[in-house]
Amino acid sequence: MKRASILLVTALALAAGTAAFTQSFSVQLGNPRGPAQPVKFPHDIHAGKLGMDCLYCHYGAEKSAIANLPPVSTCMGCHKIAVTDRPEVQKLAGYYERGEPIPWVEVYRLPDHVKFNHKRHVRAGLTCQTCHGPVQAMNVVVQYPSLKMGWCVSCHRERMNDPGFPASTDCLICHH
């Protein structure tokens, strides 16, 4: 493929990925085993065995409210060459060749009346694992905390007097 068309495919995948992300995720709250995904992406191999940084793929988590999922092109940076003989990697390549975003099934979702911002929590020094658990050891991502109000509020209460990043328990910081 010529460079221009690679860029176009990437841009389309990014645009379509964003639309799929905000609109068509199906919600499976509290699923103890984690949902079946369209491509069996193993976190334990990538973030565990290969030691990849979470932010390599979820770079939005330190820059914005939302932690993005990576576009297919991020995966293809390696998988044009890496283990192309494996069936799940061939499925991945199929999405890439068709210029289609992967319809990942959502694991975490707060109700619309709650505000949450990744950047603020990551900047306050909380690790991903504090809230999401040992993802680097998970073959399938599961919803680790309850995501109930009590979970948020108990950490905020503990950190009310933190000298650097005091957290508040005021209703209106979390609710519109």
Task: Label residues 148-173 b or e (16+ Cβ within 10 Å = b).
Answer: eeeebeeebeebeeeeeeebeeeeee
Site for ligand HEC in 29-88 (CB under 6 A): 37, 39-43, 45-47, 49-50, 52, 54-58, 61, 66-67, 69-70, 74-75, 77-79, 82-83, 86, 88
Closest CA to 15 of 92, 100, 75, 79: 100
Nearer to ligand HEC among residue 5 and residue 162 (C-beta):
162
Q: Which of 12, 14, 16, 153 binds ligand HEC (CB under 6 A)?
A: 153
Taking the complex as a whole, the smallest distance from the CB of residue 19 to ligand HEC amounts, in Å, to 15
Nearer to ligand HEC among residue 4 and residue 81 (C-beta):
81
Site mask for ligand HEC (CB under 6 A), range 125-144, x = bound: -x-x-xxx--xx----x---
- Please work out the total of residues on this chain that contact ligand HEC, with binding judged by CB under 6 A: 73
What burial class does residue 107 get, using C-beta atoms within 10 Å of its C-beta: 0-12 exposed, 13-18 middle, 19+ buried? buried
CA 172 to centroid of chain Cα atoms: 26
Question: Rounded to an integer, what distance in angstroms lies between the CA atom of residue 24 and that of residue 21?
Answer: 6
Taking the complex as a whole, the smallest distance from the CB of residue 105 to ligand HEC amounts, in Å, to 7
Contact flag: residue 13 with ligand HEC (CB under 6 A):
no
Contact flag: residue 167 with ligand HEC (CB under 6 A):
yes
Q: Cβ neighbours of residue 107 under 8 Å, at least 6 residues apart? A: 28, 31, 34, 35, 141, 142, 143
Nearer to ligand HEC among residue 15 and residue 38 (C-beta):
38
Nearer to ligand HEC among residue 4 and residue 17 (C-beta):
17
Q: Cβ neighbours of residue 69 under 8 Å, at least 6 residues apart? A: 17, 21, 57, 58, 104
Q: Which of 5, 6, 19, 109 binds ligand HEC (CB under 6 A)?
A: 109
